[in-house]
Structure 1
């Protein structure tokens, strides 16, 4: 990111409400990771080990570092200024808008955009080059559509929602306010539904429902959220869906849940609030996942998960049980290898 304006260490610490040590007048000219820190930059270290952080401080070219406030006594004599935060990464996130140039969204309606006469586009909404807006679409105040977004008939897009290039929003989908749809996502594609038919083999089930995304929902690049066969597929307020995920038709996901990359959720699932699905989690159809459940990466869920705890493995089991099982399996393998090795030496 390019610099918007420089801050002093004292100013940065004041913005995030944290104490600091060292020269408060030191100028900070950007933010970067500690591995790529350059002269004049502000970076952070979330490590709780003072010895590890001391090593990083000796090696970094950064002008200042945000560190854990629990290390204040151990790092008080550091050679560069330090800002002490309970959560260094959260402090950096707070400082980004003050120091880094944020992307400039398209402004106004590009003359190459094709907008149906019946569509309602707020005066301060933005529609980029070569977008296609269908009949009876409603785009609210402050919404931004980047170039080459396609919006089908009857869609509603809420205030200040951002839709990036290449995304497709199918017919009658509703997207709430302050949401972000990344490149290549398809919201409201037909659900995967077929029934046996002797005359044609498999007959497609008409998918005449829709998708409703609540406020502040983020959808990652190339993710697909299928429309319901009947009724709605729903994603709750504040839920975040990573790249390359598949959410089947008629599934409901609650508020403030996280679906990590390449996860797949079958149709007609009910997933609660504050659920975390680790990367590449697979969930069979018609299953219920209770509030607060967390799955490790590549968990395979084949039954309802009603207890608020961590799960792992295939089929999904409680995390502790999965760890114990893996320890036993490793011991069995090691024991077998030892017996085979002993038998080999005995023969020779």
Structure 2
């Protein structure tokens, strides 16, 4: 079991220690559940009230903390407790699953595929013709990567993922279990003779560097040209990204949200959970779409939108307040 002293943890965090404790720290835990050998964190002053009843011996806290740690307890003051806690979690992180060999004997790898230095490929994987797997990339068991795909350096592809033909994934990416990259876009047109006619999807998907895509999420290939995810995008579980959509850098999409086809997101756009975005919509840099919202038109840069259909947040809040008053008046 890993354990650290307060001083050892602060060597990583570079904060200021307030108080002292003789306890060795064996794990991180949330305030309410922590034991007297565990470290927690207070990222907002509204959570200070939980410290008195918490058993944690140490807490990583923001610099504006207004309480004292108490007897045989300590705070580590930092500028951003949330970011500092991510460093603490790294200290205690257990090892990732091990490979007995760099390429498992049950993996099927086409003779034309290129597997670069230090890459690892797990049991039951299929690596198709002319695929390139970059240096130190890890492909966990039962992953399928089809013809002419490229995966960059230091990426991690978790089990069950399918990367279809001609798609390209950058360096330092993480694809979580069972996500699908490059499935056909949802394209059909009514035809009197044949019912619904499938529109061929002949494009691909291009994913930049440092992108993370959650479990069971789907990024559809373009009808023509490419569906594009820019560097640093973070996609949650169960997210749908439609064909020919283009995401700028560092966009965030929370769980169960979805983009229809040909949506454009600027840099730093945030899409809340279960939000849905109409096709051919453009959302400007830094805009935020609240959870459960439905976007039916373009959004300028920096706007915060709420509701279904989505309107500016301040207008949505006014509408909700009026509706609440109307309901209350009807009960009188």
Category of TM-score, reference length = shorter chain:
over 0.9
Question: In the aligned structure 2, how far is the partner of 1:123 from the partner of 1:69?
Answer: 45
What's the offset of the Cα at 1:197? 2.5
| Residue in 1 that maps onto 2:35 | 38
Which of residues 48, 68, 77 in structure 2 aligns to 1:75? 68
Does residue 51 of structure 2 align to residue 57 of structure 1? yes
Moved more, 74-83 or 320-329: 74-83
What's the offset of the Cα at 1:24? 6.0
Question: In the aligned structure 2, how far is the partner of 1:292 from the partner of 1:156?
Answer: 30
Deviations along 1:67-90, one digit per CA (max 9) or x if unpaired, are 222125x31645511111222221
| Residue in 2 that maps onto 1:11 | 8
Checking the alignment, whether the CA contact within 8 Å between 2:156 and 2:174 is kept in structure 1 is: yes
Question: In the aligned structure 2, how far is the partner of 1:69 from the partner of 1:245?
Answer: 36
| Residue in 2 that maps onto 1:143 | 137
What's the offset of the Cα at 1:99? 3.0
Structure 2 length as normaliser, TM-score? Answer: 0.95
- RMSD value, Cα: 1.5
Q: Report the secondary structure of 2:228's partner residue.
A: strand
Deviations along 1:53-112, one digit per CA (max 9) or x if unpaired, are 2x423322222111222125x316455111112222211111222233232353500001
Deviations along 1:208-229, one digit per CA (max 9) or x if unpaired, are 1000000011111111100001
**Which stretches in structure 2 are left out of the alignment for 5+ residues?**
none
Which of residues 298, 303, 316 in structure 1 aligns to 2:310? 316
| Residue in 2 that maps onto 1:345 | none
What's the offset of the Cα at 1:25? 5.4
What's the offset of the Cα at 1:162? 0.5
The aligned runs of 1:221-240 (5 Å cut-off) are: 221-240=215-234
Question: In the aligned structure 2, how far is the partner of 1:208 from the partner of 1:83?
Answer: 54
Which of residues 88, 100, 110 in structure 1 aligns to 2:104? 110
| Residue in 2 that maps onto 1:90 | 83
Question: In the aligned structure 2, how far is the partner of 1:305 from the partner of 1:248?
Answer: 18
Larger Rg: 1
Question: In the aligned structure 1, how far is the partner of 2:301 from the partner of 2:108?
Answer: 50
| Residue in 1 that maps onto 2:159 | 165
Classify 1:256/1:280 alpha carbon distance in 2 versus 1 (closer, same or farther; 3 Å).
same
Does residue 278 of structure 2 align to residue 284 of structure 1? yes
Question: In the aligned structure 1, how far is the partner of 2:209 from the partner of 2:130?
Answer: 21
Deviations along 1:18-51, one digit per CA (max 9) or x if unpaired, are 00122265421221222321231111122314xx
| Residue in 2 that maps onto 1:341 | none
Moved more, 193-202 or 309-318: 193-202
What's the offset of the Cα at 1:269? 1.1
Aligned length: 331
Moved more, 40-49 or 127-136: 40-49
What's the offset of the Cα at 1:151? 0.7
The aligned runs of 1:109-258 (5 Å cut-off) are: 109-258=103-252
Does residue 94 of structure 2 align to residue 101 of structure 1? yes
Question: In the aligned structure 2, how far is the partner of 1:173 from the partner of 1:241?
Answer: 17
Q: Report the secondary structure of 1:65's partner residue.
A: strand
Checking the alignment, whether the CA contact within 8 Å between 1:10 and 1:25 is kept in structure 2 is: no
Question: In the aligned structure 1, how far is the partner of 2:86 from the partner of 2:95?
Answer: 13
Classify 1:69/1:233 alpha carbon distance in 2 versus 1 (closer, same or farther; 3 Å).
same
Question: In the aligned structure 1, how far is the partner of 2:29 from the partner of 2:86?
Answer: 11
Q: Report the secondary structure of 1:250's partner residue.
A: coil
Question: In the aligned structure 2, how far is the partner of 1:17 from the partner of 1:162?
Answer: 30
Q: Decide which structure has greater helix share.
A: 1
Checking the alignment, whether the CA contact within 8 Å between 1:105 and 1:144 is kept in structure 2 is: no
